Amino acid sequence: MSDRPELFVTNLHRNFTGVSATAAAVARRQAARYSMQIVGRPLAGCPDPVSIRRAVILSRTPGEDRPFVLWHVRRNNEMRAALWARDALKLPVRIVFTSAAQRRHSALPRWLISRMDAVIATTEEAAALVPNVRAVVHHGVDTERFCPANDRDAAWQDIGYPGRFGIATIGRIRPEKGTDVFVNAMIALLPEFPDACALVIGKATPQHRGFVGELQARVEAAGLSQRILFTGEIPEDRMPRLVSSLSLLVASPRYEGYGMTPLEAMASGVPIVASDTGFFASFIGDDRAGTLVATPDAAKIAAAARGLLDNPMELALKAGNARHRAEDLFGIESEVEGIHKVYQALWESG
């Protein structure tokens, strides 16, 4: 392995997002395979990052066995930075972009993506919407980091939230993510399960604080403020322990490009109830790992959750299936290997 970086993985978003999580999971494995440098903001478990300016300097001279360095980007601003290095500064850089969106990009992203040297799509649907696709590589989950609790009941008690067991939704708090669907479903469901506590895990941007206030007002009006809790964003290093303590994860977005939180739950042996968007249908597999609901409808989400919670044997069966599917079909190793083949093809092409 060369002392000079051969791979630059960019992370230019100031918040930790689902994109950050997928980049971090892959980069942790890539660090042992390549001379790699994170650019921008830190990714947990990865080498310390450098600035874009420093990355540009380091990109001037590829490693002795490489005709150029690779920049792996995942966001618009990261594509722009890489294009600046390659096209404006004329550095020996090739750019790989991961695309998860399952709807048509707007004009600027379409143009940026058209300038990429290689695109990796996370699904066939995403591949159909962008040019220069070299491979379809599903996001994977780190099944060592996310794994079942030895005793779920004890794990929930250790977390410190009320009740005997937990149900959660995880992600940005906004209408697109269906946070209101989850809250309305829990308002309907929790009176039937007095031992349950529901968690809304995630951050709201300033533009959605009014939305959060409306949801909290609904919860208060229902008399459930002590049982439907808005936790805010939880640090990444605490998430595996929290997810493994849950009895059920609900993912009810109106739109999702791919969606990692259901996979992380599945790897933790947690069944999921999900709306039919993202790649959720493939995760669940004919309801083997949970229940898929055709539309993000609160009554249907509540009914699906009720069906599992009322049947402990089925819940346990789907918990086991969830873990097996995450390990067998969606492990991080498959994603890392699929990405490596794209890198290698670029390097070999000169």
Cα distance between residue 160 and residue 209, in whole Å: 26
Say if residue 159 is in the same domain as residue 294.
yes
Say if residue 201 is in the same domain as residue 289.
yes
> Which residue type does 309 have?
L
Average pLDDT over residues 118-126: 96
Say if residue 303 is in the same domain as residue 342.
no
Strand-pairing partners, residue 292, are 274
Average pLDDT over residues 228-236: 95
Average pLDDT over residues 312-317: 97
- Looking at residue 329, its pLDDT comes to 96
Say if residue 303 is in the same domain as residue 180.
yes
Say if residue 226 is in the same domain as residue 249.
yes
pLDDT grade for 184, boundaries at 50, 70 and 90: very high
Say if residue 163 is in the same domain as residue 312.
yes
- Looking at residue 2, its pLDDT comes to 60
More confident residue, 21 or 274: 274
Say if residue 340 is in the same domain as residue 306.
no
**CA proximity to 200, closest of 177, 192, 210, 221:** 177
The answer to the question of residue 82 being in a domain is: yes
Say if residue 189 is in the same domain as residue 129.
no
Average pLDDT over residues 163-187: 97
pLDDT in tens, 203-220: 999 999 999 999 999 999
The answer to the question of residue 145 being in a domain is: no
- Looking at residue 1, its pLDDT comes to 54
pLDDT grade for 65, boundaries at 50, 70 and 90: confident
Strand-pairing partners, residue 98, are 120
Does 348 score more than 60 pLDDT?
A: yes
Q: How many domains does the chain have?
A: 2
The answer to the question of residue 146 being in a domain is: no
Say if residue 341 is in the same domain as residue 279.
no
The answer to the question of residue 2 being in a domain is: no
The answer to the question of residue 147 being in a domain is: no
- Looking at residue 17, its pLDDT comes to 84
Q: What is the mean pLDDT of the chain?
A: 96
Say if residue 161 is in the same domain as residue 307.
yes
Residue 192 domain boundaries: 152-329
Do 174 and 205 meet the contact criterion of CB atoms below 8 Å apart?
yes
Does 16 score more than 90 pLDDT?
A: no
pTM for the structure as a whole: 0.92
- Looking at residue 8, its pLDDT comes to 98
The answer to the question of residue 299 being in a domain is: yes
String of b and e for 127-164 (b: at least 16 CB within 10 Å)? bebbebbbeebbbbbbbebbbbbeebeebbeebebebe
Average pLDDT over residues 28-38: 95
- Looking at residue 128, its pLDDT comes to 95
The answer to the question of residue 91 being in a domain is: yes
SS3 assignment, position 82 = helix
Say if residue 236 is in the same domain as residue 247.
yes
Say if residue 37 is in the same domain as residue 63.
yes
CATH code of the domain in which 298 resides:
3.40.50.2000
Average pLDDT over residues 146-164: 97
